[in-house]
Amino acid sequence: MMFNAEQNRWARHYQAALGPYLKQSPKVRQAPATTLGSQAVALGLETLDVAEVHKRALLAIANKEGPPRNAAIARAKAFFLEVLVPIEQTHPAALKTERQVKRVAEDLRLRTKESSAAARHLKRGIAKRKAAETMLKETGRDLAKLLLESSRLQGRLLQNTRNKLMAKEDVNRSASHQLQNEIAQTLLGIHLRLLTLKLSTNSSMDRLKKEIAANQTLVKQSARTIQRLAHEIDRHHEK
């Protein structure tokens, strides 16, 4: 497999980083491997290219320091896989999976947002329903109070009306009696004067005229009395 100058330089860096890494503690992070993987992507190297570089690096280390132990072999494998991570992420399948993961994450975020909005809407709906139920109960109590008060007012109004009607009837009866008495007295006066005229046919013409004038006055007085009492009765009816 042929490499260009930059790829060969990268291969030397790979071997230089792998040797010390195999001698470090298993707890040491694989930062150099991650950096090498990103560089391999930039150089256009694929998985098989990195596998070839890894094999050459292991052979060079074995020729120089002897065959690696099992623990070193396991660490070399972990180093190699870490270098491949950035490369594998550039493959179509990996990119497709990453896009799918992003879509799923976005869909989950939107669904979570919608769920939260629905929960808030439901909460507001419950609050509004409770408020409406409370208002309905209060309105029902107020309506019952209004109906009771209306019934009481209606009873008092009916009683007041009856009292006023009875008072008007009493006034009407009193006015009627007064009218009857005054008219009776006036008519009695007219009757007596007419009777006097009948008995005194020998009276002079002047006296006769005076009696007739007096009777006319009584008649007019009686008419005024009737009109006045009728007016008072009407005024009492209007109150």
Average confidence (pLDDT) over 105-117 = 70
Domain boundaries, the chain: 5-90, 166-238
Confidence of residue 101 (pLDDT cuts 50, 70, 90): very low
The mean predicted confidence, pLDDT, of the chain is 76
Tell me: the pLDDT tens digits for 77-94?
A: 999 999 999 998 887 654
Q: Specify the pLDDT at position 94.
A: 46
Q: Specify the pLDDT at position 164.
A: 67
Average confidence (pLDDT) over 34-42 = 92
Average confidence (pLDDT) over 139-151 = 64
Q: Specify the pLDDT at position 228.
A: 80
Q: In this structure, what token pair is assigned to residue 107?
A: 């869909």
Residue recorded with tokens 């019934």: 151
Q: What is the 3-state secondary structure (H, E, C) of 25-91?
A: CCCCCCHHHHHHHHHHHHCCCCHHHHHHHHHHHHHHHHHHHCCCCHHHHHHHHHHHHHHHHHHHCCC
Residue predicted with more confidence, 161 or 195: 195
